[in-house]
Each structure stands twice: as C-alpha cells, then as structure tokens.
Amino acid sequence: MSAPRLRLAVAADRAAVEEIVETAYAPYVARIGRRPAPMDEDYAALIAEKVVQVAEVDSGVRGLLVLVAQADALLLDNIAVAQDARGTGLGRFLLQAAEAEAKARGYDVIRLYTNAAMTENIALYGRIGYVETRRVHERGFERVYMEKRLG
C-alpha cells in the first residue's frame, strides 16, 4: 500500500465519499437508534464549499475529512476511513493532517464532536489529547464536544 495523499475533494469524489461514510457509520445505527448525522449530509454541497478533503491510497479514495472554520477553532466535522483501509494507520494520518491544517490556518484549537453512544471514539480522542468540553442534545442527537490545544 502506498503512502496516503490528501487533497481537496472534487465533484467526481462524491460517490466514494458517500460510500465511505455509509459503511463507516452503519454499525452505529442500531446503537444510536437512527442514522448518525454524517450519513445524511449533503456531500455535493460540502464538496462545493471546499470543506471536504479525501485521502487517496493507491489511486483510490480511502478516507475523508470535513473541516469547518470557526471563529476560535477548526472543527473536525467528520472523519471516516474506508472499510478496507481500517487498521492501516489511515485514521491516524487523517487526525494528524487535521491538526496540521488547524495549525496552518493559525488556530490554537481543533474541535470535534461525536455521538455519546460512540464510546470507543470518545475514548480514542481522549487518548490522543482531546478533552471533553460539553455534552448537548443537538439536532436530535446526544453529542459530546471535545477539543485539543495545539502546541
């Protein structure tokens, strides 16, 4: 497997992005009791807004980031890895790329949220330096917001 290459998504990436999101979040449907929010996003619009980046590995899209500028932080709105790329380090690569992007844009903080039912994600983010800042009921979901100070 070649090293991943990160680039802005283009319209032709939409199907791959949607497929990765669908398979990445499908296991959580039963746990949450409904489709997680990323599964129903308008990826055509997000790609057009230039907030979606894709990770190419061996000429195929295998992961994605959705990064949204906020006043005081860069929001990691979504991160997903293709089923066949799990366990390869691509998720770690994407998280590091998001943090590097935040720094490059002049942010001292990167923020994310996850569903409260995605306990393994909360634990993972905690292990890599994110701290929980709040829990809210938002858009019909129980969300856990976390952030990481960047050095």
Domain boundaries, the chain: 5-108
Q: What local confidence, expressed as pLDDT, does residue 1 receive?
A: 65
Confidence of residue 118 (pLDDT cuts 50, 70, 90): very high
CA 31/CA 42 separation, integer angstroms: 23
Once rounded to an integer, what is the mean pLDDT over residues 30-55?
A: 97
Q: What local confidence, expressed as pLDDT, does residue 2 receive?
A: 83
pLDDT tens column, 72-114: 999 999 999 999 999 899 999 999 999 999 999 999 999 999 9
Once rounded to an integer, what is the mean pLDDT over residues 34-40?
A: 96
Measured over all CA atoms, what is the biggest interatomic distance in the chain, rounded to whole angstroms? 41
Q: Which token pair is 39?
A: 């599964």
The residue assigned the tokens 């998720």 is 91
Q: Which CATH superfamily is domain 5-108 in?
A: Gcn5-related N-acetyltransferase (GNAT) (3.40.630.30)
Across the chain, what does the average pLDDT equal?
96
pTM of the model: 0.94
Flag whether pLDDT at 46 surpasses 70: yes
Once rounded to an integer, what is the mean pLDDT over residues 25-39?
A: 95
Q: What local confidence, expressed as pLDDT, does residue 59 receive?
A: 81
Angle among Cα 110, 115, 117 to the nearest 5 degrees reads 135
- Other Cβ atoms less than 10 A from the Cβ of 88: the count is 16
The secondary structure of 12-74 as a DSSP string is GGHHHHHHHHHHHHGGGHHHHTS--GGGGS-HHHHHHTT-EEEEEETTEEEEEEEEEE-SSSE
CA 111/CA 70 separation, integer angstroms: 9
